[in-house]
Amino acid sequence: MEGYSVSQVFHGLMCFTNEQSAKIYNTTTRQLVVLPVIEESSILVENDKSKRTMYCIGHDSVHDQYKVFCTVSKRGERVGNLVTWVSEHWVLLLGGRDVSSRWRNIPSSCLPHRPLTQFNTVNINGCMLYYLARTHLSKCVLVSFDMISEEISVPQLPEDLVFWPRLPIMIDIVEWDGRVAFLDYPVCENEGDAFENECVMKVWVMEDAETNLWSSKTLVIPPSQMNILNMPVVDNLSLMPRGTTREGEVILVPQNIRYSKRTLNISIDPQETTDFYVFLYNIQKNHMRKVEITKSSSRYVTTKWDVIGLDDVENLMYL
């Protein structure tokens, strides 16, 4: 698996990606398969450094089939100061035979777009995939893919949800209580050796997908709770959402993020630590707790470390 990274875990199936290549590993049967090349893609055959692929596993509950959805994109022609994108969408039936084991192109009337990253995705109930992407206007949009109907759509976002670039606040997509949600998380600033200011976050939850009905609430984490958690006091501590637990707690990974108001760029500063941990934030109770992963006698200097959820579903399907 050298060079590959885990991009998703779904129903006991792990997806590993390495640029345009992908592998699926069944944690129950321990079977590992390499996904076939998308031979008919007009983007992947080009020698273009801007091309990017995103793979996601889902489940068609009507036909009881596991599918892999893939979006392929590259930079298009520049129109004035605007960057355009070219994108393709493909579906592969896992465990298929003969013709069914080939990638099928999924036509779409949506604007060509580019997924932000492999990790800005949420799978709701296994059959509805959501991910963040940028269009030719550099506008950030929410894209959905239905694993059953194989239709691609662009749901309307909340009117007061504003994406980058702006103040040193970032937004991530998460699953919350079986619904797609956005969590607006800030850089938590400190004074001296303690956190003097409260951390304010906002959450938007999709209440009705058909009518694009969203609800929102503001969450305030008091300084006392930040300090009780024995968090390291750094200049720009950011708690990055990385999914939710079965109990609905948001998984937050601490990162030392630096924001430039002049260039509007974000960078992640190295951290020297012997303690790896995450925080679990209960939105309903507005309470956060620390979960230690491991302690080491050696000190590690790390720029970024990440966490991905692993379900313990037993899956006996043959890939």
Contact 52, 114 (CB under 8 A): yes
How far apart, in whole angstroms, are the C-alpha atoms of residue 291 and residue 278?
A: 5
| Cα 308 to the center of its chain, rounded Å | 10
Whether 161 is covered by a domain: the verdict is no
Total count of residues recorded for the chain: 319
Query: Do 79 and 38 share a domain, yes or no?
Result: yes
pLDDT one-digit tens code per residue, 271-310: 666 667 788 888 778 788 888 876 666 665 555 566 666 6
Domain limits at 81? 1-155
Residue where one domain finishes, among candidates 110, 135, 155? 155
**pTM strictly above 0.75:** yes
Look at residue 100 and give its three-state secondary structure: helix
pLDDT one-digit tens code per residue, 173-207: 888 888 899 887 655 555 555 555 667 778 899 99
Query: Do 176 and 283 share a domain, yes or no?
Result: yes
Query: Do 138 and 215 share a domain, yes or no?
Result: no
Query: Do 108 and 224 share a domain, yes or no?
Result: no
Contact 182, 162 (CB under 8 A): no
pLDDT at 232 over 60: no
Contact 165, 263 (CB under 8 A): no
- Strand order from edge to edge, sheet including 5-10: 5-10, 13-18, 21-26, 32-34
Between CA 209 and CA 205, with CA 161 as vertex, the angle to 5 degrees is 40
Query: Do 144 and 205 share a domain, yes or no?
Result: no
Query: Do 295 and 176 share a domain, yes or no?
Result: yes
